[in-house]
Amino acid sequence: MDDAATRSRRGRGGGGAARRAERTTMRIEAARFITRNIPDIDMLSAEALDVIEHNAETVLEEIGVVFAEQPEALRRWKEAGADVQGDRVHIPRGLARKLCATAPSQFTQHARNPERNVDIGGRNLVFAPVYGPPFVRDAAGGRRYATMADFRNFVKLGYMSTYVHHSGGTLCEPTDIAVNKRHLDMLEAHMTLSDKPFMGSVTEPSRAADSVEMAKLLFGADFVDANTVMTSLININSPLTFDAVMMGALEEYARNNQAAIVSPFIVGGAMAPVSVAGTLAQVLAEVMTGVAYSQLIRPGAPVIFGCFVTSIDMNSGAPTFGTPEASQISYGAGQLARRMGLPYRSGGGFTGSKLPDAQAAYETANTLNMALYAGVNFMLHACGWLEGGLVSSYEKFVMDADQLGLYHKLAAGIDMSEEAQAMDAIREVGPGGHYLGCAHTQANFKTAFWRTELFDYKPFETWEEEGARDTQALASDRVAKLLARYEAPPLDEGIRDSLRDYVERRQAEMPDQFG
């Protein structure tokens, strides 16, 4: 019974509980993660997938992968049956795939509020916000370096967004905090300002260890030992290179049964071939290696087949988003992940645009639509991403978060119940009539159509009188309103204090490092 929910409930029974309950009467609506009741798109035939899988095995056996400066990892690979030459690991055909077989096809990531738990894998789709930008932008303040205050704002926005299931990780880089200390503040923010699931730090194995320690304070050590409470992002240095920092973090998480996304980071034509089929073979080789390695650390550790991929503008070298080639790779990788029985991470509200304008929205919608049909199970960067991931945008965060709602409806599939067939309504209205007042419409209109919380549906004249505002202006308003209405979800004060103590202690132990 030593889990967060129980303790939280005990906490609410204590001293400040009544006051707190009153303050939190504003009910935060949170949609359950999506469970798809619709088909995936299979862009590749079974024969084409066989070819790619064969090519990936050839890459692993002939070319191999590099685990630089990791004697222990090389030892593990050798013991598992790989041919290790220097820091290059040649993995015999079939070995990596065999090792991957112990990874679960689906797992639950627990949140401190059990209603916010997410099931990752299977037919499910979980949305998490943007990850990693050093800059933020809003209409009032323009583009600037992100700070911890910005970070906290984004945690709050994610908490208040109905269709954002996950609090995410590095929502922006808090550049006003030392590099070696900011992970502590970020984790504390996720843990105290939201009750949704979150990600751990990966920038140093010691920071992954801090993440686990703080999770134990929040959830209880026994609970963390038995359950997955973090999903963290392990990038692969494509092509075919696994660096010591990321692998160290992966080891820390796998050892503790915490989930990791094993994710090639690919700008097509730079870190992978310019062709879709070639990129897919490399992606599969890389993911199989990372996932297999996680299972060498702890068989059964939860891992996600990741695929971050963009195309490149061959004129300027800029990464490009919402493009057909990136979509094709993501569709193909989804099929490969399903054949391995692994949860799949791809997509996001990607754009190269500098502003939350039409370009941003076209590119984002192209990627979000793809992700729904590519069978994505975990979507990082689902909202707030701008300028190729350099910027976390306040306005785009709420714009994307609003759009995420419609995928819930689309994924549910088409209701074929008697009520939905509406034959009585068609009879009642008849030729030339209208349905606005009929019994079926009256009974169903409240849930019949998804509705934006943001976009403009007003008559032209009203819209013009109110200032002829564009989407960015409407979004600025919504950001301000959400942040003004924000109230923290209840949390046991003992836990809150223990987290604060941990952060203070660890930060005091280290001198500041910047850059």
Binding positions for a copy of itself, 469-488, rule CB under 8 A: 470-472, 475
Site for a copy of itself (CB under 8 A): which residue of 130, 177, 281, 292? 281
Site for a copy of itself (CB under 8 A): which residue of 270, 494, 501, 512? 270
Q: What ranges make up the beta strands (E) of 146-277?
A: 231-236, 241-242, 259-267
Q: Is residue 139 near a copy of itself by the rule CB under 8 A? A: no
**Element spanning 107, H or E:** strand 106-109
Q: Is residue 444 near a copy of itself by the rule CB under 8 A? A: yes
Closest to a copy of itself by CB, 24 vs 241, is 241
Question: Would you say 495 and 161 are in contact if contact means Cβ atoms under 8 Å apart?
Answer: no
Determine the interface stretch with a copy of itself among 116-124, 215-223, 446-454, 477-485 (rule: CB under 8 A).
Answer: 446-454
Task: Find the shortest distance in angstroms from Cβ 476 to a copy of itself.
Answer: 12
Site for a copy of itself (CB under 8 A): which residue of 203, 275, 498, 507? 275
Q: Which residue in this structure is represented by tokens 């088409």? A: 414
d(CA 66, CA 74): 9
DSSP assignment of 257-285, as one string? T-EEEEEEEEEBTTTB-SSHHHHHHHHHH
Task: Find the shortest distance in angstroms from Cβ 409 to a copy of itself.
Answer: 4
Closest to a copy of itself by CB, 15 vs 71, is 71
Q: Is residue 276 near a copy of itself by the rule CB under 8 A? A: yes
Site for a copy of itself (CB under 8 A): which residue of 248, 290, 332, 384? 332
Count residues near a copy of itself (CB under 8 A). 125
Q: Is residue 283 near a copy of itself by the rule CB under 8 A? A: no
Count Cα atoms within 13 angstroms, Cβ side, for 12: 14
d(CA 449, CA 329): 32
- What Rg value do the Cα atoms of the chain yield, rounded? 24
Q: Is residue 352 near a copy of itself by the rule CB under 8 A? A: yes
Closest to a copy of itself by CB, 11 vs 268, is 268
Ranges within 222-261 binding a copy of itself (CB under 8 A) = 237, 239-241
Q: Is residue 144 near a copy of itself by the rule CB under 8 A? A: no
CA distances from 312 to 273, 284, 335 (A): 11, 20, 23
Ranges within 32-71 binding a copy of itself (CB under 8 A) = 38-39, 41-44, 48, 51-52, 55, 58-59, 62-66
Nearest partner of 38 among 411, 379, 450, judged by Cα: 411
Handedness of CA 122, 124, 128, 130 (dihedral sign): positive
**Element spanning 393, H or E:** strand 391-393
d(CA 122, CA 107): 9
Quick check: helix, strand or coil at residue 337?
helix
Site for a copy of itself (CB under 8 A): which residue of 1, 436, 484, 508? 436
Question: Would you say 375 and 339 are in contact if contact means Cβ atoms under 8 Å apart?
Answer: no
Site for a copy of itself (CB under 8 A): which residue of 90, 255, 354, 496? 354
Ranges within 302-331 binding a copy of itself (CB under 8 A) = 311-318, 320, 322-325, 327-328, 331
Site for a copy of itself (CB under 8 A): which residue of 1, 22, 86, 434? 434
Closest to a copy of itself by CB, 115 vs 313, is 313
Q: What ranges make up the beta strands (E) of 110-159?
A: 118-121, 124-127, 135-138, 142-145
